[in-house]
Amino acid sequence: MTPPLFLTALSLIALFSSGCLFSKKPAVAKENSSIAGSVEESFKLRWVDKRAGELVAQGKAAEAARTQATTEFAERFVFSAGATKK
């Protein structure tokens, strides 16, 4: 009589102590659009600033360099919503 009771208790302990039943993650993590948008905008500003600096170092006027850098960003990162913003 003791072995079946012992095996049942042991299996219940193993089942409930594994944590698998209670720690399920959601299927798809929700993306916070405001965070994604701010990261994307920050990336765009840094990229355009860097590229405009390179163009100015090559001898272009500052405003023309910034315009060209913004155009290059829009062409290179078409998937980005920030590429369409000015």
* pLDDT tens-digit readout, 1-54: 567 787 787 777 766 666 655 566 666 666 677 888 889 999 999 999 999 999
Per-residue confidence (pLDDT) for residue 37, from 0 to 100: 85
CA-to-CA distance for 59 and 33, rounded, in angstroms? 39
Q: Is 42 inside a domain boundary? A: yes
Q: Is 70 inside a domain boundary? A: yes
Per-residue confidence (pLDDT) for residue 86, from 0 to 100: 47
Q: Is 4 inside a domain boundary? A: no
CA-to-CA distance for 77 and 61, rounded, in angstroms? 24
Q: Is 62 inside a domain boundary? A: yes
Q: Is 67 inside a domain boundary? A: yes
Q: Is 76 inside a domain boundary? A: yes
Q: Is 66 inside a domain boundary? A: yes
Which residues constitute the domain of residue 45? Answer: 32-86
Q: How many helices (H) and strands (E) does the chain have?
A: 3, 0
Total domains in the fold of the chain: 1
**Which of 34-38, 65-69, 80-84: highest mean pLDDT?**
65-69
Q: Is 86 inside a domain boundary? A: yes
Start-to-end CA span in the chain (Å): 79
Per-residue confidence (pLDDT) for residue 33, from 0 to 100: 77
Minimal CA–CA distance to 47: which of 26, 72, 10, 13?
A: 72
Look at 15 and 55; give whichever has higher pLDDT.
55
